[in-house]
């Protein structure tokens, strides 16, 4: 009677566990059930969380290209034309020459910095090159400026997007390469893109884009994320190691003690340029050449890439776009106009 009376004043669990010999707390079975439920909930929520994060990163990537578009159009409006892909006093990159003949070697992306609220970095680069009279890579101050990270030039979906570009001498990354046409470098004015190596700070007038600013690409994504799955072999049968690009400009050739490609004796235009549609070597997210990664137009988002047109509009282009259509988007003067919203 005493036990029953006591049970009326306590919870059944307290009574049962203390008076009837059962240990307090959860049983092993109960604990396993709780863990299993938590595991199921985490499994259901994790993909949604990852998808939300990637959606935010994609949105940020689009906004970066919007800023680049505004910077490019701001430069074009102020200077009455677009900058070269690399401002260089010996425009032909295959010409054997020393650092004194590759001045200042800065890229289109460096030249639009004042129009992207990056005047401080731009002014520091001007000072480091002694007002554009030496190549940026030949001075300690120039190399230091070149290693800075410009957030608007980095797509957050890329691996190590906040770090230096280890594939290109540890200078600051650029995940958006300029449209230099449909095929590898052939020399200006033979190129049909927007940015081309040249000795003038203004190369292309707005009126030279005869297909229209809203129908011609300014820049496309260049991933710095290597393909990590062994079964992926979209670069000439090998796994692509996308190295991204550099915002500052082209590195000097290895023949003069620098770390650019050994076959190159001048500045390296693929540090800042991209080509596409001329042949299968320059398709989106793949190449028919094992060395195609350096030339590639690529994105870590999958199924295509983001690009910005010369009027500042941003679009997503599917990797399944036809080679002909893609080349025409990159050609400023082929007379073929396409609706940017149709890809």
Alpha-carbon distance 316 to 77, whole Å?
25
Lookup: tokens for 76 = 């074009």
What lies within 8 Å, CB to CB, of 326 at 6+ separation is 276, 277, 283, 284, 317
Position with higher pLDDT, 70 vs 18: 70
Quote the number of domains for the chain.
Answer: 1
**Residue 238, domain member (yes or no):** yes
pLDDT tens sequence across 32-83: 777 878 877 777 666 655 566 778 889 999 999 999 999 999 999 999 999 9
Q: How far apart, in Å, are the Cα atoms of 164 and each of 74, 160, 169, 174, 261? A: 27, 8, 9, 10, 18
pLDDT tens sequence across 110-128: 999 999 999 999 999 999 9
**Residue 83, domain member (yes or no):** yes
Question: Is the separation of the CB atoms in 244 and 166 below 8 Å?
Answer: no
E strands, the chain, are: 86-88, 104-107, 173-174, 176-179, 217-221, 245-246, 273-274, 304-309, 314-318
Q: What residues does 220 pair with on adjacent strands?
A: 177, 307
**Residue 246, domain member (yes or no):** yes
Residues in the chain: 343
Position with higher pLDDT, 314 vs 229: 314
Question: Is the separation of the CB atoms in 84 and 108 below 8 Å?
Answer: yes
Phi and psi at 238, nearest 5°, equal -115, 165
Alpha-carbon distance 328 to 309, whole Å?
13
pTM over 0.75: yes
Q: Is the dihedral of CA 133, 115, 165, 141 positive or negative?
A: positive
pLDDT number for residue 293 = 82
Phi and psi at 324, nearest 5°, equal -65, -45
Q: How far apart, in Å, are the Cα atoms of 169 and each of 23, 166, 176, 258? A: 65, 6, 18, 9
Alpha-carbon distance 335 to 318, whole Å?
22
Share of the chain above pLDDT 70, in %: 81
Instruction: Give me the chain's average pLDDT, please.
Output: 83
**Residue 159: strand, helix, or coil:** coil
Position with higher pLDDT, 93 vs 292: 292
pLDDT confidence band for 15 (50 / 70 / 90): very low
pLDDT tens sequence across 210-241: 999 999 999 999 999 988 777 788 888 888 88
CA nearest to 13, candidates 2, 27, 1, 25: 25
* DSSP 8-state symbol, 129: T
pLDDT tens sequence across 80-113: 999 999 998 887 656 666 777 789 999 999 999 9
**Residue 21, domain member (yes or no):** no
Does residue 16 surpass a pLDDT of 50?
A: no
pLDDT number for residue 127 = 97
pLDDT confidence band for 12 (50 / 70 / 90): very low
Phi and psi at 329, nearest 5°, equal -65, -30
Query: What would the mean pLDDT of 254-276 be, rounded to a whole number?
Result: 72
**Residue 136: strand, helix, or coil:** helix
pLDDT confidence band for 188 (50 / 70 / 90): very low
**Residue 7, domain member (yes or no):** no
E strands, 153-246, are: 173-174, 176-179, 217-221, 245-246
Structural domain that includes position 194 = 41-342
**Residue 15, domain member (yes or no):** no
**Residue 215, domain member (yes or no):** yes
pLDDT confidence band for 136 (50 / 70 / 90): very high
pLDDT number for residue 7 = 47
Query: What would the mean pLDDT of 308-334 be, rounded to a whole number?
Result: 93
pLDDT tens sequence across 150-181: 999 999 999 888 999 998 989 999 999 999 99
**Residue 34, domain member (yes or no):** no
pLDDT number for residue 291 = 79
Question: Is the separation of the CB atoms in 143 and 137 below 8 Å?
Answer: yes
């Amino acid at each position: 009677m005493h036990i029953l009376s006591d049970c009326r004043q306590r919870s059944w669990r307290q009574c049962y566990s203390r008076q009837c010999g059962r240990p307090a707390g959860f049983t092993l079975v109960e604990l396993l059930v709780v863990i299993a439920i938590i595991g199921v909930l985490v499994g259901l929520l994790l993909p949604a969380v990852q998808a939300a994060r990637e959606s935010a990163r994609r949105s940020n990537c689009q906004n970066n290209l919007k800023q680049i578009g505004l910077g490019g159009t701001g430069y074009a409006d102020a200077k009455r034309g677009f900058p070269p892909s690399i401002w260089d006093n010996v425009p032909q990159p295959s010409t054997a020459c020393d650092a004194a003949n590759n001045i200042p070697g800065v890229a289109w992306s460096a030249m639009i910095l004042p129009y992207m609220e990056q005047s401080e970095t731009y002014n520091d680069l001007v000072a480091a090159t002694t007002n554009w009279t030496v190549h940026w890579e030949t001075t300690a101050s120039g190399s230091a400026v070149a290693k800075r990270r410009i957030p608007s030039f980095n797509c957050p979906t890329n691996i190590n997007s906040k770090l230096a570009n280890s594939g290109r001498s540890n200078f600051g990354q650029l995940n958006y390469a300029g449209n230099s046409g449909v095929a590898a470098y052939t020399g200006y004015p033979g190129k049909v893109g927007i940015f081309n190596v040249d000795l003038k700070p203004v190369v292309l007038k707005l009126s030279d884009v005869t297909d229209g600013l809203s129908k011609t690409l300014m820049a496309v994504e260049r991933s710095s994320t290597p393909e990590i799955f062994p079964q992926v072999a979209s670069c000439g049968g090998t796994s692509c190691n996308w190295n991204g690009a550099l915002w500052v400009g082209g590195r000097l050739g290895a023949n003069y003690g620098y770390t650019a490609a050994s076959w190159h004796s001048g500045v390296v235009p693929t540090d800042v340029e991209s080509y596409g549609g001329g042949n299968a070597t320059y398709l989106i997210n793949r190449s028919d050449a094992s060395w195609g990664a350096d030339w590639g137009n690529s994105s870590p988002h999958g199924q295509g890439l983001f690009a910005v047109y010369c009027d500042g509009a941003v679009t997503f282009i599917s990797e399944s776009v036809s080679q002909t259509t893609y080349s025409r988007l990159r050609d400023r003067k082929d007379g073929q106009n396409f609706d940017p919203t149709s890809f």
